[in-house]
């Protein structure tokens, strides 16, 4: 499917009827400076899933509460692929209240804004609390927000100062899809390639980075590493087929999984710097007769939303518009993820901004679940056999005694050996005497 670049315009942020936008976001024309943050950690006393102001949220087993939906124009799109069979355990990752195809929010809070996204989630990057969502564990098609999984997996593996050469297989992308403009045989610092990936959603940049990060297995190894890391994070509904997010059979994710992935990305200072970069220059390649040029960040959140930390846009005909964005306000950092959105009446980043406003307006202890920690869902190692002090293999069969018989036989044999040796020495002395 053709991936199109998102060119955002300043449309009004969506708000629910009767809701009032926080003053900090009333005029989103400038952004605050990015503050340094430590890696996210689990709260010391996490809010119980499905609880919040006013009582428990809707939990699994009850009727699904409809999500507030904004009317969107009908569009022609390819048939949606059939998602994998639902795994009950995967739908309750983060808490039982998240197992719903409808809306899940803390009881007693304001209704979230109406958006066109088919699923979304808002969470706290630092505490991991899930503030609310719509179908958080429903399968969706990622488009280019899948590049965040590539970054989470491969960014720590590569030296940003290393200069790499583009090969023909890196340019094997769908005609007309988003690209940075890297040329075959061109040599670029890896940092430049990352900026091309995150600012301009370059699909050839994704291929190159997956190839480098995949080691001897190349791009296929990079995709395999992405899937392994998703599993490690607890993103059980995520399966990557392409490193770029270009559509592939069996490629899925969920709004919840995207929040897990984004949390790891925003814990990385290098990623945060890349995500807030407004523009950079792609160097000229004299040997390839290619001029240098400037690229700009497509994510309008960083220009128009106070406290924006960055994020990622995505679009394919199949996935429609997808979006991940994060922002900070009053020392609180939130992330929003959304899938299957339409750009009218508001673009993906604007829908994300409206949901962030809603999240920042909630009490800090409001939660319907949580983001699991990396490795939390890993299978525990098999317990080692209990130490018994008996050196015999456990598989030995036959009667077992207390070892006394063996010790008596050893004493008896040792005594016989001493008598035999003494007899031999006496015989030799007698023989020597006789030879004299």
Catalytic residues: 144, 147, 201
Query: Tokens for 233?
Result: 């994070």
Task: Output DSSP code: residue 252.
Answer: B
3-state secondary structure of 320: strand
Give the separation between CA 339 and CA 262, rounded to whole angstroms: 14
Quote the CA–CA distance of 56 and 126 in Å, as a whole number.
23
How wide is the angle at C-alpha 373 spanned by C-alphas 353 and 370, nearest 5°?
Answer: 50
Whats the size of the chain, residue-wise? 436
DSSP 255-304: HHHHHHHHHHHHT-HHHHHHHT--EEEEPPBGGGTB--EEEE---THHHH
Inter-CA distances, 228 with 149, 158, 221, 222, 374, Å: 11, 18, 10, 10, 12
Cα(225)–Cα(240) distance, integer angstroms: 10
CB 243 within 8 A of CB 222: yes
First CA to last CA distance, the chain: 110
Question: How many C-beta neighbours within 10 Å does residue 376 have?
Answer: 12
Q: What is the spatial distance between Cα 122 and Cα 136, in angstroms, rounded to a whole number?
A: 9
* Residue written as token pair 């709260």: 43
Between helix 218-233 and helix 147-154 the angle, nearest 10°, is 90
Tell the residue number behind the tokens 């497509």, with chain if given: 298
β-bridge mates for residue 274, sequence order: none
């Amino acid at each position: 499917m053709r991936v199109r670049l998102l060119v955002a315009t300043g449309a009004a942020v969506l708000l629910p009827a009767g809701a009032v936008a926080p003053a900090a976001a009333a005029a989103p024309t400038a952004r605050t400076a990015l503050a340094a943050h430590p890696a996210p950690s689990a709260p010391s006393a996490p809010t119980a899933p499905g609880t919040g102001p006013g009582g428990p949220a809707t939990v699994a087993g009850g009727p699904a509460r409809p999500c507030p939906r904004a009317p969107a124009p009908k569009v022609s799109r390819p048939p949606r692929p059939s998602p994998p069979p639902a795994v009950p355990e995967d739908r309750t990752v983060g808490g039982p209240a998240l197992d719903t195809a409808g809306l899940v929010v803390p009881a007693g809070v304001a209704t979230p804004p109406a958006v066109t996204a088919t699923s979304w989630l808002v969470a706290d990057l630092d505490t991991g609390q899930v503030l609310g969502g719509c179908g958080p564990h429903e399968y969706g098609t990622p488009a280019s927000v899948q590049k965040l999984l590539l970054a989470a997996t491969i960014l720590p593996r590569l030296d940003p100062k290393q200069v790499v050469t583009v090969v023909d297989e890196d340019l094997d992308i769908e005609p007309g899809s988003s690209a940075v403009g890297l040329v075959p045989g061109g040599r670029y610092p890896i940092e430049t390639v990352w900026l091309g990936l995150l600012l301009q959603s370059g699909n050839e940049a994704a291929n190159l980075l997956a190839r480098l990060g995949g080691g001897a297995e190349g791009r296929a190894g990079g995709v395999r590493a992405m899937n392994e890391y998703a599993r490690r994070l607890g993103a059980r509904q995520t399966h990557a087929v392409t490193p770029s997010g270009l559509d592939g059979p069996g490629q899925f994710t969920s709004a919840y999984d995207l929040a897990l992935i984004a949390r790891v990305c925003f814990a990385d200072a290098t990623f945060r710097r890349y995500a807030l970069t407004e523009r950079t220059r792609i160097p000229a390649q004299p040997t390839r007769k290619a001029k240098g040029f400037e690229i700009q960040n497509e994510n309008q959140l960083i220009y128009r939303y106070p406290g924006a930390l960055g994020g990622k846009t995505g679009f394919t005909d199949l996935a429609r518009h997808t979006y991940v964005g994060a922002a900070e306000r009053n020392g609180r950092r939130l992330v929003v993820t959304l899938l299957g959105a339409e750009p009218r009446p508001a673009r993906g980043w604007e829908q994300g901004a409206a949901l962030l406003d809603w999240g920042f307006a909630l009490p800090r202890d409001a939660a319907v679940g949580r983001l699991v920690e990396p490795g939390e869902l890993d299978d525990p190692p098999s317990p080692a056999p209990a130490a018994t002090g008996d050196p015999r293999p456990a598989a030995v069969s036959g009667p077992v005694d207390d070892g006394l018989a063996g010790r008596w036989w050893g004493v008896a044999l040792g005594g016989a050996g001493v008598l035999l040796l003494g007899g031999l020495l006496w015989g030799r002395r007698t023989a020597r005497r006789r030879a004299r």
